[in-house]
Each structure stands twice: as structure tokens, then as C-alpha cells.
Amino acid sequence: MITDAAPGLSRLHQAWRLLACAAIGGLLWLATSVQLAQQHSAGPDTWFYTGDPLVGIACLVTLVWRRRFPLTVALATALASAVSTTASAAALLALCSLATRRRPMEIGAVLLVSVAASQAHVEFRMADAPNGPLWLQLVLAVLVMGITVAVGVAVGARRTEVRSLQHRAESAEREQLARAAQARTQERARIAREMHDVLAHRISLVAMQAGVLNHRADLSTDDRQVMIRGIADGAHQALEELRDVLGVLRADPDRPEQPQPTVESIPDLVTDARTSGLEVTWTTTVRGTPPETIGRACYRVVQEGLTNAAKHAPGAAVHVSAGGMEGHELRISVANSPATGVPARRPESGFGLLGLTERITLLGGELDHRRSADGGYLLAARLPWPRHDDEKRA
């Protein structure tokens, strides 16, 4: 929050200001003493040589609190300057400090008191000296104090500008830190989603094949060898895909990323599922090649559907279908029949469908997952497929 409160001063800055006031006040006192010595042939003025310096020193001490009580200090030093030449410099510094607050009512009140005090000082101390007409004395007093006020107002405006710039810099730094934290969070979520999409499918197929080996004692030696090779290949592919995902964290920013799966990769995904023992059929009526983001989302839908079928519906028949064309929408669905076996208990993340829903929603599509009428399960997605020209204009 930006206020007009003056910032605190260090001891060094406070000291040189007070020393400057003391030096100026001392010079004014010496000049006045010389003038008085020339005018008066009588004895020395006791008040001028004793009381005047003491009042000036008291005003210098009072200046220490000018930033905490600016109006009180300014009025006190202005009144003191009426009877003390030495206090004149302290009164000007207090007036300048008050003007940095840029409050017209306070400045006007202290300015009137200062002008009146200067005239009272002339009458009190310089009554016998040729000081010129009254209007000239008033003009000179207003001119000196006006310059003092102008300097104070300029200093106050500069302080406000500096505080404003500092406030903006701090706000920009906080916003930058917040954006960086948000970017890190989004990147972590993206990596976690990719790791789930990549690993859950492979590990589920490996677990399913291991479960078949554990429960099927009637398998021949050749069948067992095929299943064991399938488990080894699945584990190897899972490690390779995990390495590709984690490689993004260590990759050179200027190096292009690995190609991501699209709709054209779905047949390979179906083939891998069949090799692992799932009964999968695949039909497509897609005409054209959808954009990479849409194709990748469709691939992840099929991957999640096959993974869930392998986990929760062992022995079920799975049907994967896709259809759509440019300018309309792209539809993808994975439907499985009821399970014919007892699903094995496996650790579940619980974030597969949640992450998939977020991915589809960000692309402007809809994801539907529910139990089907025959007791199976359906996972379907609808994604907009704009025309290439419309996409470029957007």
C-alpha cells in the first residue's frame, strides 16, 4: 500500500542534515551579530548572545522528530524563529519536510505562521536597521519560504514515484513467481498424466499375463514360453516408454520432442492388447487425418479403455471403434462385455479417468464413461474436428 509517510532516515543522513542546519543557523547568527554591533554602541544584547543560540539548539533537537510529528515540529520551529535567528534554518528544514506530505491545508497554515514570525523577528531584532518597505520584506519572506515549499513538494513527489515503482516491481516479481509456480504445477501434472497413460496400460497387460500363468495350469510349454516372452516384452516396452517420458525433463530445450502417438498408432495398440491375451476388435470410419492434439487424445482414450478392461474385466470381449471427418467431430469408443473371470486386486491410482476428462475438456470435447445395459462398460469421447482453414483463422 502506497502512503505519504516519509521513509526513515539512517543516522548518517540524519546527522548531515542537522549539521547543515546548524552551520546555516550559525552563519545567520554571526551575520546578525556583526550588524547589531555596528548599530548599537551600547553594551552587548544578553538575549542574542545567550538565549538565541539556546533556542536554536532546542529547535535542532526537535528536528529529530520532524518525520513523526511534522506539523507540530514545523509550527514550533516557525514560532521559535520569531525570537531566534539561529532557529531560522531549522524552521526552513521543518517546513520543507512538512511540504513533502503535499497537504495544502497544513502547508498554508505553517507558511502563514512562518511569514508572520519573520516579520515579528524583524521588528524584534532589526527595528533600527534599514530593512526597506513592508511589502518588500513580505515578498522576500514569501519567496524564500515558497522555494522551500516547492523543494519539499518535489521531494515528496519523487518519493511517491519511487515507492510506486518499487511497489510495481514487487507486484511484478510476485506475479512472476506465481506464474512460475503455476507453470511448474502444470508441468508436473502433465508429466504425471503422461506417465500414467504410458505405464498403466503396459503394466496392466503384464499383470494380466502373469495372472494367466498363475491360474492356468493346463497351458503347454510353448504357450507358457509365449506368455513369458510377452511379459518380458511388455516390461521392456514399459521401461522404454518411461525413459521417453522422463527424457523430457533432461532434454535440451532446442531439441525436438519425441513424436507422440496419434490415431494412426491405435492399430498397434490393439495388436499389443491382442498379443497379451485380450479379445479386441477394431473398426474405423475416420476420413482424413485429425490434428495431432485430437489424435493423441483419441489414442489415450483407447489406451485407458484397454487398461481398464484388462484390470476390471478379465476375459471380456473389447470393441474399439472410431469415426468422424473434418469439419464435424471425431468419435472414439471402447466398449467391453461383462467379465468372465474374477479380476485380480491391483493397486489403482484413481486418476486415469480424471486426467482423461481434463485432457478431453481442454480440447472442447466430452467424455462419457458408464456401465452399459449388458453389464459391461463403455468409455466414449467426442472431440471437435474443425476444418483446417477454420483452425488457422482461429
Residue 355 CA to residue 200 CA, distance in Å, equals 13
Please tell me the predicted confidence (pLDDT) of residue 321: 93
Please tell me the predicted confidence (pLDDT) of residue 323: 92
Please tell me the predicted confidence (pLDDT) of residue 17: 81
Of 84, 136, 74, the residue nearest 111 (C-alpha): 74
**Cell numbers placing 47:** 538575549
Please tell me the predicted confidence (pLDDT) of residue 132: 57
Residue 363 CA to residue 214 CA, distance in Å, equals 42
Please tell me the predicted confidence (pLDDT) of residue 246: 62
Around Cβ 228, how many Cβ atoms within 10 Å? 13
Q: Is the pLDDT of residue 394 over 70?
A: no
Among the residue ranges 151-155, 245-249, 355-359, 369-373, the one predicted with the least confidence is 245-249
Max mean pLDDT range (181-185, 234-238, 333-337, 347-351):
333-337
As a whole number, the mean pLDDT across the chain is 78
Q: Is the pLDDT of residue 338 over 60?
A: yes
Structural contact between residues 364 and 300, judged by C-beta atoms closer than 8 angstroms: no
Please tell me the predicted confidence (pLDDT) of residue 40: 57
pLDDT digits (tens, 9 = 90+) for 54-91: 888 888 888 888 888 888 888 888 888 888 888 888 88
Please tell me the predicted confidence (pLDDT) of residue 344: 58
SS (H, E, C) the chain: CCCCCCCCCCHHHHHHHHHHHHHHHHHHHHHHHHHHHHHCCCCCCHHHHHHHHHHHHHHHHHHHHCCCCHHHHHHHHHHHCCCCCCHHHHHHHHHHHHHCCCCHHHHHHHHHHHHHHHHHHHHHHCCCCCCCCHHHHHHHHHHHHHHHHHHHHHHHHHHHHHHHHHHHHHHHHHHHHHHHHHHHHHHHHHHHHHHHHHHHHHHHHHHHHHHHHHHCCCCCHHHHHHHHHHHHHHHHHHHHHHHHHHHHHHCCCCCCCCCCCCHHHHHHHHHHHHHHCCEEEEEEEEECCCCHHHHHHHHHHHHHHHHHHHHHCCCCEEEEEEEEECCCEEEEEEEECCCCCCCCCCCCCCCHHHHHHHHHHHCCCEEEEEECCCCCEEEEEEEECCCHHHHHHC
Please tell me the predicted confidence (pLDDT) of residue 218: 73
Model confidence at 43, pLDDT cuts 50, 70, 90, reads very low
Give the list of residues 6+ apart from residue 132 with CB closer than 8 angstroms, or none: none
pLDDT digits (tens, 9 = 90+) for 113-136: 888 888 877 776 655 555 556 777
Model confidence at 14, pLDDT cuts 50, 70, 90, reads confident
Please tell me the predicted confidence (pLDDT) of residue 197: 65
Of 297, 261, 288, 300, the residue nearest 386 (C-alpha): 288
Q: Radius of gyration (Cα) for the chain, nearest Å?
A: 44
Among the residue ranges 33-37, 110-114, 158-162, the one predicted with the least confidence is 33-37
Q: Is the pLDDT of residue 238 over 90?
A: no
Q: Quick one: CA dihedral 130, 133, 134, 138, positive or negative?
A: negative
Model confidence at 330, pLDDT cuts 50, 70, 90, reads very high
Max mean pLDDT range (27-41, 103-117, 239-253):
103-117
Of 301, 188, 151, 239, the residue nearest 309 (C-alpha): 301
Of residues 192 and 169, more confidence is placed in: 169
Model confidence at 2, pLDDT cuts 50, 70, 90, reads very low
Model confidence at 379, pLDDT cuts 50, 70, 90, reads very high
Q: Is the pLDDT of residue 252 over 80?
A: no
Model confidence at 42, pLDDT cuts 50, 70, 90, reads very low
% residues pLDDT > 70 (the chain): 76
Buried b (16+ CB within 10 A) or exposed e, 349-372: eeebeebbbebbeebebebebeee
Model confidence at 18, pLDDT cuts 50, 70, 90, reads confident
**Beta strand pairing call for 377-384 and 366-371:** antiparallel
Residue 229 CA to residue 223 CA, distance in Å, equals 10
pTM beyond 0.95: the answer is no
Of 113, 120, 119, 82, the residue nearest 98 (C-alpha): 113
Please tell me the predicted confidence (pLDDT) of residue 297: 87
Please tell me the predicted confidence (pLDDT) of residue 390: 53
Average pLDDT over residues 274-292: 87
